[in-house]
């Protein structure tokens, strides 16, 4: 479980989050909703350890350990995964080699690393599950891919690493209607009783594919309201001001 208590965060001494109390339990799906600038992405980046976001007060723990003192790579090794709104392109790094590297770096102690041959064979089975061409593995990381293809690559990473806590920051960004449906359906297959999804979105159709256990509304850096799926319907009819 990720436990956030009385969290107050600032960027360049400007307070952007305050009085945040949330528990993200294993096996559940959470939606963080709110207007632009309400603090949703700020909370995600704070959880992941972006250095620009400074904790002024409060605590964050992951499975009982102090999350706030961990570096971003240490948080990744605690099975925390963040899908960004804007996916960076990295020239000169092949997708397949990148995936083998992050897989081997996140292995549990005592587990044998995968050789290039065995990793390629394993990745090929995953690309088939996601209806991705195997040739993608030989291309530079995210370079020249469409929005939908980049999101598939992120889902490929999720299936490869099997993280326990998955934060999705506007995963629908840059997708057309068909690509959104494809990505949403694939995401519904990623959800298991052993992981937690924290979904930030402006497209409420996502809830048709991945049902929420809890919906949390942020406004001006604070939690304004929380509830179940009925909150999504309420906002869909009357907007956030309702």
CA distance linking residue 122 with residue 217, whole number of Å: 40
- C-alpha 199, offset from chain centre: 7
Tracing tokens 């993200």 back to the chain, one arrives at 24
In the chain, alpha helices (H): 40-48, 72-77, 95-105, 116-129, 147-161, 177-190, 206-209, 230-238
CA distance linking residue 181 with residue 206, whole number of Å: 9
Shortest CA distance to 84 belongs to which of 29, 142, 136? 142
> Per CATH, the architecture of 2-89+166-238 is what?
3-Layer(aba) Sandwich (3.40)
CA distance linking residue 158 with residue 162, whole number of Å: 5
- 9, 55 contact by CB (below 8 A): yes
3-class DSSP assignment, residue 5: strand
pLDDT confidence bin for 242, thresholds 50/70/90? low
Residue 46 token pair = 């704070």
Chain mean pLDDT for the chain: 91
Give me the residue spans of the domains in the chain.
2-89+166-238
Tracing tokens 């959470």 back to the chain, one arrives at 30
Q: pLDDT tens for residues 110-129?
A: 678 889 999 999 999 999 98
- pTM of the complete model beyond 0.85: yes
Q: pLDDT tens for residues 151-209?
A: 999 999 999 999 999 999 988 887 888 888 888 898 888 899 999 999 998 888 889 89
DSSP sequence for 107-160: PPTTPPPPPHHHHHHHHHHHHHHTT--GGGGGSEETTT--HHHHHHHHHHHHHH
Residue 186 token pair = 């694939």
Residue 67 token pair = 């999350």
Report the 10 Å Cβ neighbour count for 45. Answer: 20
Share of the chain above pLDDT 70, in %: 98
Is the alpha carbon torsion for 141, 39, 158, 102 positive or negative? Answer: positive
């Amino acid at each position: 479980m990720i436990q956030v208590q009385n969290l107050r965060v600032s960027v360049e001494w400007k307070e952007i989050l305050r009085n945040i109390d949330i528990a993200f339990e294993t096996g559940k799906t959470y939606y963080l909703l709110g207007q632009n600038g309400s603090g949703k992405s700020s909370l995600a980046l704070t959880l992941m350890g972006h250095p620009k976001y400074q904790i002024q007060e409060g605590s964050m723990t992951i499975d009982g350990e102090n999350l706030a003192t961990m570096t971003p790579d240490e948080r990744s090794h605690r099975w925390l995964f963040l899908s960004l709104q804007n996916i960076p392109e990295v020239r000169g790094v092949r997708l397949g080699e990148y995936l083998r590297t992050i897989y081997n770096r996140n292995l549990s102690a005592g587990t044998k690393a995968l050789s290039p041959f065995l990793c390629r064979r394993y990745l090929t089975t995953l690309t088939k599950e996601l209806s991705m061409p195997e040739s993608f593995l030989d291309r530079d990381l995210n370079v020249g891919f469409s929005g939908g293809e980049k999101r598939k690559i992120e889902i490929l990473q999720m299936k490869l690493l099997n993280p326990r806590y998955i934060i999705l920051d506007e995963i629908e960004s840059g997708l057309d209607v068909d690509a959104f449906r494809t990505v949403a359906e694939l995401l519904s297959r990623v959800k298991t009783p052993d992981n937690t999804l924290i979904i930030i979105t402006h497209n409420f159709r996502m809830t048709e594919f991945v049902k929420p256990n809890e919906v949390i509304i942020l406004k001006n850096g604070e939690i304004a309201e929380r509830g179940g799926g009925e909150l999504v319907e309420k906002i869909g009819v009357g907007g956030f001001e309702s």
